Structure formats: C-alpha cells, structure tokens
C-alpha cells in the first residue's frame, strides 16, 4: 500500500511499466505500508527512463513504524548524488531495520519525486517461487504474505465448489485467514487489480448451511466466522439460496452473500509453501541437491583447502523455510611441517591447506612416538609433531652378588636381576628397554645379609635347617624331654639382618589344677610332670573312678577325675519291747545301729546292723 505526497500522474517507462510522480514541492516523499513490521535488508529503486522528469538526488531511505513523521524512522541508506534515468539502484541497510513503513524522500530539494518501482527485501518473507505449482495456470497471480501463499485467479471464473477443488490441488483451500494485516493485504491486492476483474466479485472460504433460518457462517476450516464485514444491506439471503460469500468490489470489497452455483466468479486460494526455493549460499560454498520441495535435504560443500563453518545439511521445513543458516567456507593453510629426524613425511596431496593428511614413518631400527597421521584442520595441524626414537638398548649392566637374565634388547623387552643366596636385591628386579635406547632404570644391587648364630634356649636346642645364617635361612627350636616350647618353633633371617622374632623358651611340663568334684577332696599339691595326686570321698560317699592320677609329659592328667556319690539308708523302724541307737548318729553308708531289749526281755537276732553301699541296712532287725 503506497502513499505519496500529492500524486499527480502515472506516466509510463518506454517498456510500458507504470510510474508515479509527485507534485513539485519541498522535500517530496513516497511511502509504502508493509502492513506488518518487517526486518528490511535491501531496498531497490527503478527510475524513469524518459520524459524529461527531474532526476532523483540527495535521496534518503528510512524504515520504521512512524507513518506521520518520516524523520523519526531510522535511516537505512543515503545517496548524496544524482541517480541516472532508467537505472535500477540497490541500497543495502547498514543493518536490518525492523519497521512497517519504508519511505523515500528527496531531502533539501524543491521538486518532484518520480518512481517506477520500489522493491523491499526481507528475510521475514519468502519469494513466490516457493508457492508455484505445475497445476497453476499461467494466468494465476501468485503472491506471498506473512509466510503464506495466495493464488489470485482473476481471469477465469468458477463456482464455489469448483474453485474450492482447484485450491485443494495445491494443498490449500479458499482464502479464510482474514485476521489483522492479512485482510488489509488481500484487499489492497484486489484494489490494485480491480480494473482486471470482471465481475468484481471474488469467492472467499466462508459459507453457511442452506435454508432461510440458518444464520451461522463458517470458514472452510469449520471454524465459526466471528466478525464478518458485510456490505450495506448484506447478507440478504435472496430466495434463501445465498449460502456463500464473496468480496464485492462495488462495496469497497466488503462481504456479500451470493448463490454458491455462480460459475463465473473469481477466487483466491490460500495454501502453505510448496517448496523452500533455492537455498542461500555464501561465497565459495556449493549446494549439493536439486530438490527443494518440503521434507527434502541439501548439503553444502567447500572447495579444496577450505573448511566448512556451520551446518553441513539443511532441511526444507513444512513452513517453506530452510532449517538453520547457510554455512561459510574458510580457506585454511596450515603451513609447512618441520622435518622428522630419523624419519620421513608423506602428504596425501601436494599442498598444506585444509583437509590434507600428513603421514609419518621412521627409518629402520627407529620407532614412531606420537601421532602417525596429522590433518590440516581449522586451527592448524592436528596433534603434535611425533619423533623417531631408536628401539635398541645396550647390554644391561652386571651386578656383584647376582646375575642378570635377558633374551632380547629391542624396545619393550625386559631384563631380570637375581641375587645369589645370602644376598638381598635393592632396587628394581625387572627393568625394560624403552624407545630411545635406554633401560627404564638403573640396575639394582645385591647386599650380603647375615643374621648370626641364633639364641639357644635353656633346656632346648636350635637347629639351622639349611646350615646357614644368611638371609632367608631358617632355624628350628626343640625342647628337652618333659619340657615344652613357649613361642615360635621356627624363625627366619630377614633382609634387615635380624631373625624374624624372639627365641622361644623351654618350660617344665605342668598339668592344670585338677578339678575337685562335690563330696570329694584331693591329696597332693605338685602338678608337674610325673607327679601324682589322690582323690578321697567325704563320709557317706562312695567313689566312682580312678582315685590316683599322674601328670603326663603331654601336660594332661592320666585319667579323668573320679566323683563321689552320697548314699543314705534312712531311719530304721523301732522294735517292740526294745530300742536302737545310731553309733555315729548318722544313717549314711558305713553307719551302724545297735539294738537292745527292755527289762525282762531277751534279744533274739543280730545285735547291730550296718548301712551298705546299696543304700539298705544289712541283715534284719532283731526281736525282743
């Protein structure tokens, strides 16, 4: 939607292109409304090529959101000179400027402003080539707005149903998005082409159920129309058959209800983009892939010696835009590599730029230490410079008091040092041959170690098992008869020249204190080997077991301790005309009872009875 200061004429270029020119005035201007704020990158101007008009000079291009005061909008570009007639001049903003209005003004000039075409470029929108389909006729006008495709069918008319079917061939439907700036855009496009429309009635994607009583209008998506913009006296539903909606040019493009079967009305299709168009590519980059339709992918590549910075692959998304951003190619030269001592370097190509691989190798009897391959990368050669080290070592040094064993002297082999008996190894027993011809450490040494004669215990002997007192020698201790060993029976000579522990002692064999069971007592207090003790029972008890025990050389008694059992025969019944008396005033085993008769009576039977071990009294009681 373009605005001018006092528009006076629409002259044409020689090629038939329409041009516009303002009245003569101070600082004439021209402005276009983009309908929504856009990030403007470039503005391209086409000047007139005839007719003696005033040329463009001292030009300012501003982008912003102010429609009243152009000078409040940020400056995109300034041209202090004069533009030639009939040229196309491109102006690039120093940075993308976001605004709804793009204005061109001759600053400080009294005259008229004449323009034939002004194009604005932004990344917020895509070009119409993403909307094109082989199914569209050559007379279809294709435009884009707010990342949506619009097909204006303005030369041939169709019924509502047929128009809708044509729209669906490109995956869309009759136009149905009339929100905010989109509605302004569609109406301005129709107004611009009004002279081409015969009749000036255009189908849109809104209708209602047939019938006189039905009043609910719905979009072709099924959503209810919330704020229809009806023209005067509309809708009138003539004869109850006007169930579809058109934009009516005779009513300033307001809505009008008409019959759906009218087959000569123009229509507008709305659909998503069908492709992403040609992908953008930075300098020196190459796009691989020729299919730009939805879902397809492309790859980027760089010339030899260049590094690709960014994403290698991009996908055409459903909204008609390429994923990510286009990568760049950076030329990288890593420079010459330093020479490899005792080796050589072979490059995959005779250059030192990005992607070249250098392979290192060593001469015979040398081994490569480090990376075999290095690649020229963004930050230079990868890894570090390797080196070639000799892989043979000299004979390992001999040592005193020991010898060395080895089978090879190549890098990775080992040498083992062993000391002679009586010597201790000090240092590493095993050393390895490393790259560079050096052993991993100095040779060890063998130190002579003697612990001396071991201490001899009293009542015992010390026996050297191998007849030596040097390191690892063993001494065994034994005691005399009737003596036992208290301590370690064996000691060995340590690396420190000391026996591994204190010498043991020989002690006389002694038995533990004997137990004294209930009802018994022990005679004898010597518990050493060969000593004897005797068990006795208290009165009223009898012994079970061996009464005399001996302490053996094993430190144990010759038998288990005996035990004493208490036996009681109980009270004897009195005899008629007589009496009895317990001699010891007791009734346990061994006790005696004596009988006697009263005066004038004579005793018949035994005089006394004794309590036996069987817990019964002997004989039977007498009579008087």
Express each pLDDT in 569-607 by its tens digit.
Answer: 999 999 999 999 999 898 888 889 998 999 888 989 999
Average pLDDT over residues 281-301: 92
Question: For 72, how many CA atoms within 13 A lie in the half-sphere containing its CB?
Answer: 8
Overall residue count recorded for the chain in this entry: 624
In this structure, which topology does domain 343-390 adopt according to CATH?
Complement Module; domain 1 (2.10.70)
Q: Tokens standing for 413?
A: 């082999």
Res. 10 pLDDT band, cuts 50 70 90: very low
pLDDT for res 112 = 87
pLDDT for res 429 = 93
Question: For 371, how many CA atoms within 13 A lie in the half-sphere containing its CB?
Answer: 11
Query: What is the radius of gyration, based on Cα positions, of the chain?
Result: 62
CATH architecture of 286-331: Ribbon (2.10)
Superfamily of domain 460-508: Complement Module, domain 1 (2.10.70.10)
pLDDT for res 383 = 94
Average pLDDT over residues 200-209: 93
pLDDT for res 53 = 66
pLDDT for res 410 = 87
Query: In 3-state terms, what secondary structure has residue 191?
Result: helix
pLDDT for res 3 = 42
Which pTM value belongs to this model?
A: 0.51
Q: Please, are residues 334 and 306 in contact by the beta-carbon 8 Å criterion?
A: no
pLDDT in tens, 434-457: 888 889 999 999 999 999 999 999
Of the ranges 14-23, 285-294, 547-556, 561-570, which one carries the lowest mean pLDDT score? Answer: 14-23
- Cα distances (angstroms) measured from residue 108 to each of 41, 80, 101, 118, 556: 25, 11, 21, 21, 134
pLDDT for res 17 = 54
Phi, psi of 371, rounded to the nearest 5 degrees: -75, 130
Q: Domain 520-566's class?
A: mainly beta
Q: How far apart are CA 593 and CA 580, in angstroms?
A: 6
Pick among 3.60.20.10, 3.40.50.800, 1.20.950.20, 2.60.120.260: CATH of 2-122: 2.60.120.260
pLDDT for res 51 = 65
State what percent of residues in the chain have pLDDT above 70. 96
Phi, psi of 241, rounded to the nearest 5 degrees: -120, 0
pLDDT for res 146 = 86
Q: Domain 402-448's class?
A: mainly beta
pLDDT in tens, 130-173: 888 888 877 889 998 888 999 999 888 999 999 999 999 988 99
Res. 11 pLDDT band, cuts 50 70 90: very low
Cβ count within 10 A of residue 349: 12
Q: Give ranges for CATH 2.60.120.260 in the chain.
A: 2-122
Statement: residue 9 has pLDDT above 70:
no
pLDDT for res 435 = 83
Beta bridge mates, 617: 611
Residue found by looking up tokens 């003697």 in the block: 450
pLDDT in tens, 307-354: 999 999 999 998 888 899 999 999 999 999 999 999 999 999 999 999
Reported as type and span, the H/E element at residue 439 is strand 438-439
Statement: residue 113 has pLDDT above 90:
no
Q: Give ranges for CATH 2.10.70.10 in the chain.
A: 286-331, 343-390, 402-448, 460-508, 520-566
pLDDT for res 397 = 92
Q: Give ranges for CATH 3.10.100.10 in the chain.
A: 128-271
Question: What average pLDDT does the structure give for the chain?
Answer: 89
State what percent of residues in the chain have pLDDT above 90. 58
pLDDT in tens, 452-471: 999 999 999 999 998 999 98
Statement: residue 384 has pLDDT above 50:
yes
Pick among 3.90.1150.10, 3.30.70.260, 3.40.920.10, 3.10.100.10: CATH of 128-271: 3.10.100.10
pLDDT in tens, 210-229: 766 677 899 999 999 998 99
pLDDT in tens, 53-106: 678 888 999 999 998 888 999 999 999 988 888 889 899 999 999 999 999 999
Q: How far apart are CA 15 and CA 89, in angstroms?
A: 18
Phi, psi of 94, rounded to the nearest 5 degrees: -60, -30
Q: What is the DSSP letter of 576?
A: T
Q: Please, are residues 445 and 398 in contact by the beta-carbon 8 Å criterion?
A: no
């Amino acid at each position: 939607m373009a605005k001018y200061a006092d528009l006076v004429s629409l002259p044409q270029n020689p090629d038939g292109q329409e041009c516009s020119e303002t009245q003569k005035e101070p600082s004439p201007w021209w402005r276009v409304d983009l309908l929504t704020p856009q990030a403007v990158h470039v503005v391209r101007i086409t000047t007139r090529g005839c007719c003696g008009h005033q040329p463009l000079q001292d030009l300012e291009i501003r982008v912003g959101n102010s429609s009243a005061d152009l000078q409040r909008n940020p400056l995109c570009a300034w041209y202090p000179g004069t533009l030639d007639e009939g040229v196309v001049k491109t102006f690039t903003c120093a940075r993308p400027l976001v605004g709804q209005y793009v204005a061109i003004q001759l600053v400080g000039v009294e005259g008229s402003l004449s323009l034939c075409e002004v194009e604005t470029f932004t990344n917020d929108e895509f070009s119409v080539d993403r909307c094109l389909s082989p199914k569209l006729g050559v007379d279809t006008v294709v435009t884009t707005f707010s990342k949506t495709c619009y097909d204006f069918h303005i030369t041939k008319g169709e019924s509502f149903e047929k128009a809708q079917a044509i729209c669906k061939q490109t995956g869309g439907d009759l136009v149905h998005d009339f929100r905010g700036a989109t509605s302004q855009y569609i109406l301005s496009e129709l107004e611009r082409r009004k002279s081409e429309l015969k009749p000036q009635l255009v189908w849109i994607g809104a209708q209602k159920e047939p019938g006189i009583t039905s009043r609910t209008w719905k979009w072709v998506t099924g959503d209810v129309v919330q704020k229809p913009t009806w023209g005067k006296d509309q809708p009138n539903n003539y004869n109850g058959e006007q169930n579809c909606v058109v934009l009516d040019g005779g009513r300033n493009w307001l809505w009008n209800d008409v019959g759906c079967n009218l087959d000569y009305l123009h229509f507008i299709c709305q659909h998503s983009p069908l492709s992403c168009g040609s992908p953008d590519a930075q300098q020196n980059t190459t796009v691989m892939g020729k299919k730009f339709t939805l879902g397809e992918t492309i790859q980027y590549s760089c010339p030899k010696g260049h590094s690709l910075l960014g994403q290698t692959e991009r996908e055409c998304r459903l909204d008609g835009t390429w994923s990510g951003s286009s990568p760049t190619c950076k030329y990288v030269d890593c420079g010459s590599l330093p020479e490899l001592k005792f080796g050589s370097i072979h490059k995959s190509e005779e250059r030192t730029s990005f992607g070249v691989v250098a392979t290192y190798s060593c001469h015979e009897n040398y081994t490569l230490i480090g990376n075999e391959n290095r690649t020229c990368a963004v930050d230079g050669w990868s890894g570090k410079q390797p080196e070639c080290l000799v892989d043979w070592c000299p004979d390992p040094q001999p040592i005193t008091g020991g010898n060395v064993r080895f089978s090879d002297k190549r890098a990775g082999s080992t040498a083992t040092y062993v000391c002679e008996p009586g010597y201790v190894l000090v240092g590493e027993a095993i050393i390895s041959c490393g790259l560079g011809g050096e052993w991993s450490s100095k040779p060890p040494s063998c130190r002579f170690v003697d612990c001396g004669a071991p201490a001899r215990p009293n009542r015992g002997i010390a026996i050297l098992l191998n007849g030596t007192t040097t390191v690892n020698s063993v001494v065994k201790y034994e005691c005399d008869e009737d003596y036992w060993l208290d301590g370690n029976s064996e000691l060995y000579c340590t690396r420190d020249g000391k026996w591994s522990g204190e010498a043991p002692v020989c002690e006389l064999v002694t038995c533990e204190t004997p137990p004294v069971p209930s009802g018994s007592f022990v005679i004898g207090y010597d518990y050493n080997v060969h000593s004897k003790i005797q068990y006795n029972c208290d009165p009223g008890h009898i012994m079970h077991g061996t009464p005399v025990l001996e302490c053996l050389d094993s430190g144990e008694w010759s038998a288990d301790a005996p035990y004493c059992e208490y036996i009681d025969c109980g009270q004897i019944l009195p005899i008629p005309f007589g009496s009895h008396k317990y001699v010891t005033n007791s009734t346990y085993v061994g006790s005696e009872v004596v009988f006697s008769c009263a005066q004038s009576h004579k005793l018949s039977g035994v005089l006394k009875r004794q309590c036996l071990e069987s817990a019964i009294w002997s004989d039977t009681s007498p009579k008087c």
